[in-house]
Structure 1
Amino acid sequence: MALPAVFNNLRLPVIASPMFIVSGPELVIAQCKAGVVGSFPALNAREKEGEPVQLEAWLKRITEELDRHNQENPDQPAAPFAVNQIVHRSNARLERDIEICMRWKVPIWITSLGARPELNEAAHAGGGIALHDVINNRFAKKAIEKGADGLIAVAAGAGGHAGAISPFALVQEIRSWFDGPLALSGSIANGKAILASQAMGADLAYIGSAFIATKEAHAVEPYKQMIVDGTSDDIVYSNYFTGVHGNYLKPSIAASGMDPDNLPSSDPTTMNFSDKGEKPKSWKEIWGSGQGIGAVDEVLSVGDYVAKLEREYREAQSELQRKIIADALESAS
C-alpha cells in the first residue's frame, strides 16, 4: 500500500519522534528542513497563567518558517511536521490543543496513551492524518478500529515510554493484518537500522534519542554528552518515574542519588500529564534514552546528522544489493 501523499517529500523514510522537553520549534524546523518529519509533544508548549498560548505561537512559527523555506527552495521542500497529543485523562489541555491543531491544519498527528475516534476525526477535519503509537498487537488493532490512519510500533529498546516486545515480533504481528502506514521505533540511530526497519516490513523509521545529541535540541549539555558517551549498557527499563515503563540513562539516575539497578516499581495510576503534574525536584535531571545510543559519537547539527544518516542508508542499500547479486551468481554457478 502506498504511503499517504504527506510523506512524498521525505529525504529519508524517517520520523523524528516527539521528546518530552527536548523537542521544540528549533529542533522541529531543522528536522523538517533537513528532509525528515519533525515533531514535538503539544504539552512541551507551556505558558504561565495569563500569558499567550504557547502552542499557538509554536505552530505559527513552524508553519511560517517552513512555508518561507519552501518558497525559497522549491526543488528541496521541507518535510511535514507532526504534533504529539497525549490522550490521557490527566491531560486537561487535550480539548484545547486539539482545537488549536485543527485550526493550524497540522499535517500529522501522533497520538499516545489512548486511542479516541474523535481525535482521529479532528486530524482528518484539518486535512491531516493520525498515527497512533502502540506497544503490542492488541493495542494496534484497537487504534485502527477507532480510526487511526497508521501505527507507530514502539518496540523494545525505544526511548521514552517503550514496549518490551522485539521489533521482529511486533512488526510481523502487525503486518499479518495491516498494510497501512507503519513506523518502527526502537534503537534506530544509523542508516543501516533505517534500512533494516524497512526490510522487516515497516515503512518508516522512528528516531528519537540520537536527536537529543544535536545542536538544535532543547537539552542541557550534560544530557547531550551522556548520550554521546553512552551505550545500551547505560540504559535501564523502569516504571518508577511515571508509572509506565520507559528507558532511562543509568548515570542520570545515579547522579540523583538512586540506585539504577534497584529501582522500586510504581503504580500506573500515578501517571499525571496535567500542568501541575511535575516530577519531584530530585527527578528533574533523570533523562530518558533508548538503547541505540552506541551509534552516537558526537554532537552534530540536525542537518549534519541527517546527512550522515543518508550516507549510511545509501551505503547499506548498495552493500545489501552487492550481497544479493553475489548470492544469486553463486546459486546460478
Structure 2
Amino acid sequence: MRGDNHLPAALQGLRIPAVASPLFIISVPALVIAQCKAGIVGSFPALNAREGEGEHPLLDTWLTQIREELDRHNQANPDRPAAPFAVNQIVHRSNTRLERDIELCHKHEVPIWITSLGARVEVNEAAHDCGGIALHDIINNRFAKKAIEKGADGLIAVAAGAGGHAGPQSPLALISEIREWFEGPLLLSGSIGTGDALLAALAMGADLGYIGSPFIATKEANALQGYKDMIVESGADDIVYSSLFTGVSGNYLRGSIENAGMDPDNLPEGDLKTMNFGDKREKPKAWKTIWGSGQGIGAVKDVTSVADLVDRYEREFNAAWKRLQRRMA
C-alpha cells in the first residue's frame, strides 16, 4: 500500500486511515473532539447546530469550542496531536442556511469541508480561500466527475451498505471506475465496521475509510440509548433500504421502522420533491424515530467510548495487514 504523502496535509499522519462521517443529530462537539483526539478526522453536519430564533449562531459556538479544545489537547500532547476536524455542508436548494454557514466555516478556517447533495463551485472556493480542502460525497462515477469539474479536491464514494443516503453500487465497481481517471484523495463509505474492512478499502484503491454507524453506539454520541442498543443488537440482515423517509434512498434499522408501526418489507417509494433541509421542515410524527444505519454494524458488540472503538479498529487493521503479508510472502 502507498503511504499518505500524496494526500493533502489535512489527511496525512492519521493514526489509522479513517474519517468519521458526519451523523445527522448524532455528531456533536463531544463526539467530534473525541474522534480527533483518538487520531482520526472527526466531523459533524453544520445543520446539527440549531439555535433558537434571535440567538447567537450555535455553529459559531461549536466551532469555537472544537478549535479551543483541540488546541488545548495539542499543547498538552505535542507528541500525540489531535487529527483535524471536518464540517459537512448540505448543498441542497432547501438549505436556506448554507450561505451563513459557509461564512462561519470560512471565519473559523475549517480544515476539511465535506459537501453533500449537490456540488457547488462557490463552496469549494470558500474552503480553498481559508486554507481548507473540499471533499464531495457521490454515489456513482458520473457525479464524481461533476464534483471534480466544480473544484472538489477529493471524493467520498458512498457505496452499497453505507448508512444514511447510500448508493446502490458495489464498492468494488465504484472505486474501480473512479480510479480509472482520478488519482486524488478518495474515501470509501459502506460497511467499514472492522479494521479488516478498512484494509480492504485501501486494497481496492481508496485512500481512507469513511466510518459512521459504529460511532452511533459510543458514549459520546448524541443518540438515544434505544438507538445505541439497537445498533448493538442488529446486523446486516436488519438493515432496510428505502427512499420513503427523505425522498432519497438510504439504509435504516428494521427495528425502528417496526416500532413506528410500519412494515419494513412493504414500504412505499418516497418522492424526491419532499426532500427538505430548511429550518422549518417537518416530517410525519411516526418518522421521528426512524434510525439510519449501515450494514457493517454486526461488528458492534457493545456501547463503548470513541477511544476504545478506534483502538479496536487499529488492532484489527494491523492484524489484518500482518495476516495479508504472511499470505503474500
TM-score (norm 1): 0.97
Aligned equivalent of 1:301: 305
Distance 2:232 2:283 in 1: 25
What are the equivalent positions in structure 2 for 1:251-330 lying under 5 Å apart?
A: 251-325=255-329
Distance 1:115 1:158 in 2: 20
Amino acid at match of 1:109: W
For the residue of structure 1 that corresponds to 2:248, the secondary structure is coil
The yes-or-no answer on 1:229 pairing with 2:233 is yes
CA contact (8 A) 1:216 1:301 kept: yes
The partner residue of 2:253 within 246, 249, 253 is 249
The partner residue of 1:58 within 49, 58, 62 is 62
Name stretches of at least 5 consecutive residues in structure 2 with no aligned partner: none
Q: CA deviation at 1:51?
A: 1.4
Q: CA deviation at 1:8?
A: 2.2
Distance 1:310 1:278 in 2: 40
- Which aligned segments of 4 or more residues in structure 1 are displaced greater than 4 angstroms? none
Q: Deviations over 1:214-273 (max 9, x none)?
A: 000000100001000000110000000000000000100000011111000011011000
Distance 1:45 1:16 in 2: 18
What are the equivalent positions in structure 2 for 1:181-200 lying under 5 Å apart?
A: 181-200=185-204
Amino acid at match of 1:259: D
CA contact (8 A) 1:9 1:78 kept: no
The partner residue of 1:173 within 173, 177, 186 is 177
The yes-or-no answer on 1:202 pairing with 2:180 is no
Q: CA deviation at 1:280?
A: 1.9
Distance 1:319 1:271 in 2: 45
For the residue of structure 2 that corresponds to 1:300, the secondary structure is coil
Aligned equivalent of 2:216: 212
For the residue of structure 1 that corresponds to 2:263, the secondary structure is coil
The partner residue of 1:34 within 38, 44, 50 is 38
Distance 1:162 1:128 in 2: 26
Q: CA deviation at 1:278?
A: 2.8
For the residue of structure 2 that corresponds to 1:254, the secondary structure is helix
TM-score (norm 2): 0.98
Distance 2:284 2:62 in 1: 27
For the residue of structure 2 that corresponds to 1:130, the secondary structure is strand
Distance 1:237 1:40 in 2: 23
The yes-or-no answer on 1:97 pairing with 2:101 is yes
Name stretches of at least 5 consecutive residues in structure 1 with no aligned partner: 326-333
Q: RMSD of the alignment, in Å? A: 0.7
Aligned equivalent of 1:68: 72
Q: CA deviation at 1:20?
A: 0.4
What is the total number of aligned residue pairs between the two structures? Answer: 325
CA contact (8 A) 1:134 1:152 kept: yes
Q: CA deviation at 1:9?
A: 3.0
Aligned equivalent of 1:328: none
Q: CA deviation at 1:108?
A: 0.2
For the residue of structure 2 that corresponds to 1:121, the secondary structure is helix
Identity %: 71
The partner residue of 1:149 within 148, 153, 159 is 153
Q: CA deviation at 1:149?
A: 0.1
For the residue of structure 1 that corresponds to 2:268, the secondary structure is coil
Distance 1:123 1:279 in 2: 32
Distance 1:53 1:116 in 2: 23
Amino acid at match of 1:227: I
